[in-house]
């Protein structure tokens, strides 16, 4: 193969060429395999919990083991799968391609992010092997800092280190998007995926340090017995919750905004239409990021926060619904009179919209003070955030992975199997988590391994759904790996999509573009628009 025709995968296949790479595409792949590992561990923990909950009695695991299972599940899924999922895998891979750049602004820093992630993951993994942590992913004090007899500090250290990786990733994305755009690629010609990742990066940079200091304070309190959070030592346990949720609520938007970016890319491509209301979709990402910093108190409605603070946080939480709804309405309008085809990425995106609407509306219920007091600490909350994080983010991640898979691997995935897996996931997901809304509304508390017998039917349904969901996740794992070797070779632009990433070969050459592209038009300029352009409102948006 001549030097000219080599792609980023064939420019070296030694272990060293992967572990010391500064190529953003290869780093994206490194992240993909690392997060899959953590996803698998966390999914096994979830499976064990679902099996335990088949019967009202605690017959599979002890209460203590159950506590450790949901902590492992939460910690790994949040910090070692969801947060790096779309940003670090897909974002890393496509941001420079989308903006016509040859790499990130700081390629070495990008690799460092991955190493920090791996070192952090090692500590988390080690804490699990030593016997796990039983505090839940929220590490509430003073239980975590004084009473828990498990490996809290080591787990916190793992998250702390991985957090620095997140900060550096966010920083790298912002600088890259600011300075490395191709000639002609102005801010309002940027793909919406870039806008959403820009907003995500701002949160990564500004919120993650607060988590770092919170976990550090919790750890020094645990190690040296100094009084920050423990009331016995004069500290303030609610202070911990304020600090923790000041990070962790924006973190929820780290876990959903990138998904929304994927939806905007995929929906325009498979509806063959320009996005409806580009400016609104772009700025709603920014609005979600900004307002997201002001709503942390809705996690603390029942933790001695004043009722007036509760009301303020309740209203601010309602406000987040506005930009979120703007996005949903604009996506729906994009579908209107589009020529829609149902390839696998599109099925994922449509299920994203359905599940996000359910998760979002129940979020409004939870933001309502009296309703929250009723369902606080029940399965209703569990169902709500799984609809956002799994129904939303994981679905969008799968959609994005399938959408860019031809670009990443240079091969097509088997379309029929892809569609089947997407449908199985949608069905399995709803069967798993919809019964949990009912369970929560009826009053079943979360984080228990035994429950009253009248709840059994819904738990059985949920476990059955989880098995279907498991099959749904297993399928892509198998056929995507298969397609790397045996899939049909992908052309440069198999979806006939707009966007610079489709103008280079699949897989792209090491330096992305042989010639720096020049951008002369707005994004999502899909051909059908020209035919019906005058009819749809979308075409008038930019005029």
Partner 1 sequence: MEIPYTIQARPDTGVYNAKLGIWLFLASEVMLFGGLFSSYVLLRVGAEPGMWPHGWLDVRLGTANTIILALSAITTLLAWAACKVGQFGKFKFFHACTLLCALAFLGIKSYEYHDKWIHYEIKLNDGTFADGHLVEKSEDFDLAKKTGTVTLHGRIVNDETLLYDLRSQKDIKLDEVTVKAADIKQMENYGPWHNTYLAIYFTMTGLHALHILGGSIVIGFLWGPGRKMWKTNPTQFTNRIEVSGLFWHFVDLVWIFLFPVLYLT
Which residues of this protein are in contact with partner 1, per CB under 8 A?
Answer: 102-103, 105-107, 109, 167, 170-172, 174-175, 178-180, 205-210, 212-214, 216-217, 220-221, 224-228, 233-236, 239, 242-243, 246, 511
End-to-end, the C-alpha distance of the chain in Å comes to 47
Q: What are phi and psi of 445, to 5 degrees?
A: -70, 150
Closer to partner 1 by Cβ: residue 227 or 377:
227
Residue among 170 and 465 whose Cβ is closer to partner 1: 170
Quick check: 283 and 199 in contact, CB under 8 A? no
User: Residue 220 or 294: which CB sits closer to partner 1?
Assistant: 220
Q: Which residue has the tokens 């942390």?
A: 296
Its sign, for the CA torsion 426, 432, 434, 437, is negative
CB of 219 to partner 1, least distance (A): 11
Count of CA atoms in the C-beta half-sphere (13 A) of 239? 14
In the complex, least distance from residue 103 CB atom to partner 1, rounded to whole angstroms: 6
Tell which phi-psi region holds residue 100, choosing left (phi > 0), alpha (psi between -120 and 50) or beta: left
Q: How far is the CB of 78 from partner 1 (least distance, A)?
A: 19
Q: At what angle do helices 379-388 and 415-442 cross, to 10 degrees?
A: 150
Judged by beta carbon, residue 134 or residue 221, the one nearer partner 1 is 221
- Of the pair 87, 345, the CB lying nearest partner 1 is at 87
Least separation, in Å, of the C-beta of 534 and partner 1? 35
What is the chain's Cα-based Rg?
23
Question: Distance between CA atoms of 527 and 337, rounded to whole angstroms?
Answer: 14
CA 40 to CA 369: how far, in whole Å? 36
> In angstroms, what is the minimal distance from the CB of 513 to partner 1?
11
Q: Where are the alpha helices (DSSP H) in 7-106?
A: 15-19, 24-52, 63-77, 83-84, 92-98
As measured in angstroms, the least distance from the Cβ of 213 to partner 1 is 4
Nearest-approach distance from CB 321 to partner 1, in angstroms: 26
DSSP per-residue codes, 245-301: HHHHHHHHHHTTHHHHHHHHHHHHHHHTSPPTTHHHHHHHHHHHHHHGGG-GGGG-T
Cβ proximity to partner 1: between 234 and 370 the closer is: 234
Q: Which CB, 170 or 410, lies closer to partner 1?
A: 170
């Amino acid at each position: 193969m001549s030097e000219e025709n080599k792609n980023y995968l064939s420019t070296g296949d030694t272990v060293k060429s992967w572990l010391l790479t500064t190529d953003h595409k290869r780093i994206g792949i490194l992240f993909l395999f690392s997060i899959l590992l953590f996803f698998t561990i966390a999914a096994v923990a979830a499976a064990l919990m679902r099996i335990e909950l088949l019967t009202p009695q605690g017959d599979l695991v002890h209460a203590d083991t159950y506590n450790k299972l949901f902590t492992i599940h939460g910690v790994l899924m949040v910090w070692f799968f969801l947060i790096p999922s779309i940003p670090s895998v897909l974002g890393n891979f496509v941001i420079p391609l989308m903006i016509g750049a040859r790499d990130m602004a700081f390629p070495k820093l990008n690799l460092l992010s991955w190493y920090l992630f791996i070192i952090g993951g090692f500590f988390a993994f080690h804490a699990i092997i030593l016997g796990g942590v039983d505090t839940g992913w929220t590490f509430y004090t003073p239980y975590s800092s004084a009473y828990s007899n498990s490996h809290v500090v080591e787990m916190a250290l793992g998250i702390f280190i991985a957090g620095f990786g997140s900060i550096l990733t966010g920083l790298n994305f912002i600088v890259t998007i600011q300075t490395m755009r191709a000639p002609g690629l102005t801010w309002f010609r940027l793909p919406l995926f870039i806008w959403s990742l820009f907003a995500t990066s701002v949160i990564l940079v500004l919120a993650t340090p607060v988590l770092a200091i919170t976990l550090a304070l919790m750890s020094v309190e645990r190690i040296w017995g100094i009084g920050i959070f423990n009331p016995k030592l004069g500290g303030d346990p609610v202070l911990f919750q304020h600090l923790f949720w000041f990070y962790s609520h924006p973190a929820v938007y780290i876990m959903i905004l990138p998904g929304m970016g994927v939806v905007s890319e995929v929906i325009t491509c498979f509806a063959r239409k320009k996005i409806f209301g580009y400016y609104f979709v772009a700025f709603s990402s920014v609005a979600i990021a900004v307002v997201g910093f002001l709503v942390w108190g809705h996690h603390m409605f029942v933790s001695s926060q004043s009722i007036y603070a509760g009301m303020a946080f309740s209203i601010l939480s309602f406000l987040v619904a506005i930009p979120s709804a703007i996005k949903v309405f604009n996506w729906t309008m994009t579908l209107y009179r589009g020529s829609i085809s149902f390839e696998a990425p599109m099925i994922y995106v449509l299920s994203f919209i359905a599940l996000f609407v359910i998760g979002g509306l129940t979020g409004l219920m939870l933001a309502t003070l009296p309703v929250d007091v009723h369902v606080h600490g029940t399965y209703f909350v569990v169902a709500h955030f799984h609809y956002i994080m799994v129904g939303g983010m994981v679905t969008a991640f799968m959609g994005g992975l399938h959408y860019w898979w031809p670009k990443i691997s240079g091969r097509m995935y088997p379309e029929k199997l892809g569609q089947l897996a997407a449908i199985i996931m949608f069905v399995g997901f709803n069967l798993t988590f919809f019964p949990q809304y009912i369970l929560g509304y009826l009053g079943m508390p979360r984080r228990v391994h035994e429950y009253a017998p009248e709840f059994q039917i819904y738990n059985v349904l949920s476990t059955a759904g989880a098995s279907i969901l498991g099959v749904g996740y297993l399928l892509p794992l198998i056929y995507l790996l298969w397609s790397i070797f045996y899939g049909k070779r992908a052309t440069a632009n198999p979806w006939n999509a707009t966007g610079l990433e489709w103008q280079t070969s699949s897989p792209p050459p090491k330096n992305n573009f042989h010639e720096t592209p020049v951008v002369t038009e707005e994004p999502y300029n899909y051909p059908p628009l020209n035919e019906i352009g005058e009819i749809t409102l979308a075409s008038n948006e930019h005029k």
